[in-house]
């Protein structure tokens, strides 16, 4: 189940990242907080950069199995880092991706913690109690 969840997450991240770069750039700009422009960053550049990061993280989820736990933690951190944009979209009543009412934008906020949980759960193997993992095996001489 975790593998399926991880693959779905990986494919979703790659799709979202590519959409940042091409057909949905304007939509994603609605989620970029105004403070980025005040700090000298262009909103379009932020959308492009976050799209590149999403593609890389999505690809890494499947291409680097030994780093899966770290990648999951990085992805969870990424979801937390972009959350202020979702809050600003709600507070400033910016439409984007069909989020054209306060209620829809508010509901969207509750999905971000689920994304964090999904990233962590799908990339961390549960501890198996009572069983020795191969990396814990020692040869007694």
For residue 113, is pLDDT > 60? yes
* 21 vs 24: CA distance, rounded Å: 7
Which residue segment(s) compose the domain that 90 sits in? 2-123
Q: Is 79 exposed, middle or buried (0-12, 13-18, 19+ CB in 10 A)?
A: buried
Residue 140 counted as domain residue: no
Count of structural domains, the chain: 1
Residue 73 counted as domain residue: yes
Residue 138 counted as domain residue: no
pLDDT tens across 64-82, in order? 999 999 999 999 999 999 9
Q: Which residues contact 29 (CB under 8 A, 6 or more apart)?
A: 43, 44, 47, 96
Residue 106 counted as domain residue: yes
Residue 10 counted as domain residue: yes
Residue 41 counted as domain residue: yes
Give the pLDDT of residue 131. 58
The percentage of the chain sitting over the pLDDT mark of 90, rounded to a whole number, equals 75
pLDDT tens across 29-65, in order? 888 999 988 888 999 999 999 999 999 999 999 999 9
- What per-residue string of b and e applies to 109-132 under the rule 16 or more CB within 10 Å gives b? eeeeeebbebbebbbeeeeeeeee
């Amino acid at each position: 189940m975790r593998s399926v969840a991880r693959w779905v997450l990986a494919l979703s991240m790659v799709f979202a990242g590519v959409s940042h770069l091409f057909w949905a750039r304007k939509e994603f700009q609605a989620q970029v907080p105004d403070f980025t422009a005040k700090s000298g960053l262009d909103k379009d550049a932020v959308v492009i950069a976050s799209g590149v990061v999403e593609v890389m993280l999505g690809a890494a989820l499947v291409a680097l199995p030994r780093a899966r736990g770290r990648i999951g933690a990085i992805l969870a951190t990424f979801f937390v880092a972009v959350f202020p944009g979702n809050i600003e979209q709600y507070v400033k009543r910016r439409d984007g991706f069909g989020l054209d009412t306060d209620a829809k934008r508010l509901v969207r906020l509750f999905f971000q913690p689920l994304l964090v949980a999904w990233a962590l759960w799908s990339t961390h193997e549960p501890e198996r109690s009572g069983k020795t993992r191969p990396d814990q095996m020692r040869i007694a001489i």
